[in-house]
Chain A
Amino acid sequence: MSRIGVFICHCGENISRTVDVERVAQVTARLPGVAIALDYKYMCSDPGQNLLKKAVAEHKLDGVVVAACSPRMHEKTFRNAARAAGLNPFLCEMANIREHCSWVHEDREEATAKAIDIVKFTVSRVKKDRALAPITVPITKRALVIGGGIAGIQAALDIADAGHQVVLVEREPSIGGHMAQLSETFPTLDCSQCIMTPKMVDVANHPNIKLYTWSEIEEVSGYIGNFQVTVRRKARSVDEDKCTGCGVCMAKCPQKKIDNAFDRNLGTRPAIYVPFPQAVPNTPVIDRDNCTRFKTGKCGVCEKVCGPGAIDYGQQDQLIVEPVGAIVVASGFDLYNIGPKPADSPYEGYGEFGYGAIPDVIDGLTFERLASASGPTGGKILRPSDGKEPKQVVFIQCVGSRAREKGISYCSKICCMYTAKHTMLYKHKIHDGQAYVFFMDARTPGKNYDEFWRRAVEEEEAVYIRGMVSRLYQKGDKVVVMGSDVLVGVQVEIEADLVVLATAVQARTGADLLAQKLGISYDRYNFYSEAHAKLKPVECATAGIYLAGACQGPKDIPDTVSQASAAAAKVMTLFAKDQLEREPIVARVNERNCAGCLACKKVCPYGAVEEKEIRDRNGNLIKTVAYVNPGVCGGCGTCQATCPSKSVELDGYTDEQIMAMIEAL
């Protein structure tokens, strides 16, 4: 006869509001094999865990059921408590009566009956649990960081400074990301380049950082501690070892009329280029789509003028496999497109704002380039249509954000602050100019943030109009802004010289594809999901993968840097151990029954099934069977469902256990 202990949690009122927990305890106490059943307000607290430990000792329990929240929340907590009390932790199971019961039901009677059922079948399951020992696997103490913006740079530097090898992969020809495009940063107005570029140089010079720019993640396999990452190094057409970065090729390139994406297409660049003069590495790349040599075969000027002979038109993409133990994803964000709806975008865009066809209607990042000392105008704020100084500038917040009818209901978080900053930058450069801001709410939580915004309003004379804009249209050389002032209750029309739209922060195009390669989850907006909104904000649910920066949701620079350092700290914690303990919830093959059909091998998503030869004492082959590598097995149970002879089973979820659970009902 088993001696099971059942511990029912109130979860404050989360469970007890809907489920009569005392009754659940009374009923389950009488179940065969249950030695004790009791309830407590917070089982996960220290006194709660002590109750469990005491009961294990006093009642000599050989199994424990904690009826509380999801195992994803606290299974580990209670298994540790069981272990501390001398019980094998895998003889402790959760009965989820919160997410699966109290949170989703209203009727107290029915919910209580269901909670009793859930406890009942979990008791039956625990009776057939086996004591298991954790599996240990070695850890590759190298980290991969995906994305070379400020998030990736910070995470890479932190991990590298701790003495671990880091592979930093960046899609663009240079690291720097969006922050390198900014002019000045809130709330201190320090120059973005001045605080950013030294960090970029640190990355390039760090002995522990291997930098792959102009590269993308091709494939990821393996698991925490033991990932294999295939990196595609796109052909640069320039030999990085030979190139000295002298820039002659760029100066001599005859094709100079290509829109400069780094400058938001305000200026042009040659076909062989670095995105900006402070690029790291300072090695150009040939834009093959626009290079005359690649398009027609005629040209080759750069090859002729290159002193060290670094130009290599024949270079091919290279695939490099890097073994790493942990991955930090810092792939950044895109801005809501104000132009016509791109084919791959779920969002309709703003026809009423001219779909980007009005030249003096620009987005915030474009304004950053106009205000930046290294931008296309050398830091002079001049409007794109005719290069004149705009005397009336209208800033419109929440374009795309907080607009359910446009497809996005979230707040982009950074726009209130950067718009306030824009009005200041504008006023500092054009003293007789007037800035207007249309806003819904000014959301400025953050250290010295509200003070910054108030400064824009009170000292820098930006006129804030609370209300939305319904339409923008060109009238002569002005842009007419039709809006409303909801505080005064009037319609407002402003004839502006320049309009700046604070467009929504969006997940990167293709963020979903990267997530699928990594096996991490993402939300409906393609932002990557953290394992727990409050308690695991930088971890993915997939072990060994961590998040940093705006790929997880809109974030400003201080938050991004904090999260990047937090992700780095998590990686260092992982690397502090030499061996990793993994849950032994893995599949085992009954070799006696296995017919060696290897149907399990075909369906295993982890590639964990191998062939194993069984020989007699003379070395003669008796048969070939399946073998599950416990280090690789993900514990999904697909093999168990597939096996025609029921010869492979997942520990903790055997057919016998599942049947016992059903019979208990």
Chain B
Amino acid sequence: MKYAFFPGCSLESTGWDFDRSTRAVCRALGIDLVDIPDWVCCGSTPAHTTNASLSVALPVMNLQKAKEMGLPVLTACASCYARLRTANHTVLNDPEERGRAERVTGKPYDGRVEVRHLLDVLVNDLGVDAVREKVRRPLKGMKVACYYGCLLTRPPDIVAFDNAEHPSCMDRLLTAIGAEPVEWPYKTECCGASLSITRSEIVNRLSHRLLSMARQAGADCLAVACPLCESNLDLRQADAVKAHGAIPETPVLYVTQFLGLALGLSSGDVGLEALTVSAESLLAGIGRDQ
């Protein structure tokens, strides 16, 4: 299994632990990641809120490079995934935008480079059974609320590899590695996303809502697959608590960090030190690094 890997900007900065844990987990599971050389930002929210054509052209530049590599693209960031998939969709369905993107990038592009999300590949190609076989440190008794957020499953016509309103891929993966995902209702509610910067009071309110519901549902921690979700729930947790009332400290980990720990990797291998809310409390239950 070999993919052209698109890390995206977040994985180079606030989400470096997502990058490290993704690479480590893929290595352990035999998934070969080759970085797209000289990749550029996918445009993320700023591009599509300001210039529709830019939001197509930027992902297309990366997809053209992947096409030259002759590999399908794999990405871990939910936003990068949504933008790359949307760009393909636009190129396939809107000849005018396609023409503009090709003019700007100076290269033709047919919209047919396959774009996959890491979770899709793990669950649907590799399969949870294959993951289960490689577990060396089962996350026994760990009660996790799997949080999918907005972008991983929406818009369903373009991105969904799972049920859009009731996704379960992370729950299945975490069950396979011995954890106990809780049933909770806010799997696909919004965390406030990039309002984190401009309207942080909204993010505080939404994050508080998510964290307290996860706790009510009996979870000790959350699993995410989006750098922005992670930072809103982890980095802003203290602000959320200050503004809206006490909740026990709740570690928020990337799904790849859970996977890495279960596969026997050390907390350093998966970058646990990057977390604002420490994951120490979780490690106690599953045994220290070997």
Contacts and interface: CB of A to CB of B under 8 A. Distances in A.
Nearest to A472: B185
A480 B185 contact: yes
B156 interface: yes
Nearest to A352: B165
A471 B164 CA distance: 12
Contacts of B216: 475
Interface in A435-491: 470-473, 475, 480, 482
A138 interface: no
B166 A351 contact: yes
A495 interface: no
Interface string A338-363: 00000000001011100100000000
A352 B166 contact: yes
B124 interface: no
Interface in B122-178: 156-157, 163-166, 168
A46 interface: no
A659 to B, nearest CB: 45
A1 B137 CA distance: 94
Contacts of B157: 405
Contacts of B164: 405
A341 to B, nearest CB: 10
B197 to A, nearest CB: 23
Contacts of A351: 163, 165-166, 168
Contact of B185 (A348, A350, A405, A471): A471
Nearest to A405: B156
A469 to B, nearest CB: 11
Interface in B26-70: none
Contacts of A355: 166
Contacts of B168: 351
A350 B163 CA distance: 10
Nearest to A474: B185
Interface in B107-127: none
B252 to A, nearest CB: 21
Nearest to A471: B185
A535 B185 CA distance: 49
A482 B184 CA distance: 14
A409 to B, nearest CB: 14
A481 to B, nearest CB: 11
A490 B157 CA distance: 26
Nearest to B163: A351
Contacts of B156: 405
Interface residues of A, number: 13
Nearest to A355: B166
Nearest to A341: B163
A471 B184 CA distance: 11
A348 B153 CA distance: 15
B277 to A, nearest CB: 25
A354 to B, nearest CB: 9
Contacts, number: 22
A470 B150 CA distance: 13
Contacts of B163: 348, 351
Nearest to A404: B157
B271 to A, nearest CB: 32
A227 B184 CA distance: 57
A402 to B, nearest CB: 16
Nearest to B185: A473
Interface in A389-417: 405
Contacts of A350: 165-166
Nearest to B217: A473
B243 to A, nearest CB: 20
Which of A350, A352, A355, A482 has the most chain B CB atoms inside 10 A of its CB? A352
Contacts of B166: 350-352, 355
Contacts of B184: 473
A424 to B, nearest CB: 31
A471 B188 CA distance: 10
Contacts of B165: 350-352, 470-471
A441 B48 CA distance: 32
Contacts of A405: 156-157, 164
B218 to A, nearest CB: 13
Nearest to B216: A475
Contacts of A475: 216
A223 to B, nearest CB: 46
Nearest to A351: B166
A475 B216 CA distance: 9
A480 B189 CA distance: 14
Contacts of A470: 165
Interface in A471-521: 471-473, 475, 480, 482
B217 to A, nearest CB: 9
A472 B186 CA distance: 10
A133 to B, nearest CB: 58
A351 B162 CA distance: 12
A350 B165 CA distance: 8
Nearest to A357: B183
B12 to A, nearest CB: 34
A475 B209 CA distance: 14
A471 B168 CA distance: 15
Contacts of A480: 185
A351 B169 CA distance: 13
A640 to B, nearest CB: 46
B155 to A, nearest CB: 10
Interface in B195-220: 216
Nearest to B166: A351
A280 B164 CA distance: 46
A471 B185 CA distance: 7
A348 B163 CA distance: 8
Nearest to B167: A351
Interface in A310-356: 348, 350-352, 355
A475 B164 CA distance: 23
Contacts of A348: 163
A355 B156 CA distance: 19
Contacts of B185: 471-473, 480, 482
A470 B166 CA distance: 10
A473 B187 CA distance: 12
A351 B164 CA distance: 10
Which of B157, B163, B165, B184: most chain A Cβ within 10 A? B165
A336 to B, nearest CB: 15
Interface in A545-585: none
B275 to A, nearest CB: 28
A480 B216 CA distance: 14
B213 to A, nearest CB: 9
A568 B64 CA distance: 66
A610 B234 CA distance: 82
A482 B165 CA distance: 13
B172 to A, nearest CB: 13
Given A405-B164, A480-B185, A482-B185, 4 more contacts: A348-B163, A351-B163, A471-B165, A473-B185
In the A-B complex, the 5 residue pairs with the closest CB atoms: A351-B166, A473-B185, A352-B165, A352-B166, A471-B185
22 contacts: A348-B163, A350-B165, A350-B166, A351-B163, A351-B165, A351-B166, A351-B168, A352-B165, A352-B166, A355-B166, A405-B156, A405-B157, A405-B164, A470-B165, A471-B165, A471-B185, A472-B185, A473-B184, A473-B185, A475-B216, A480-B185, A482-B185
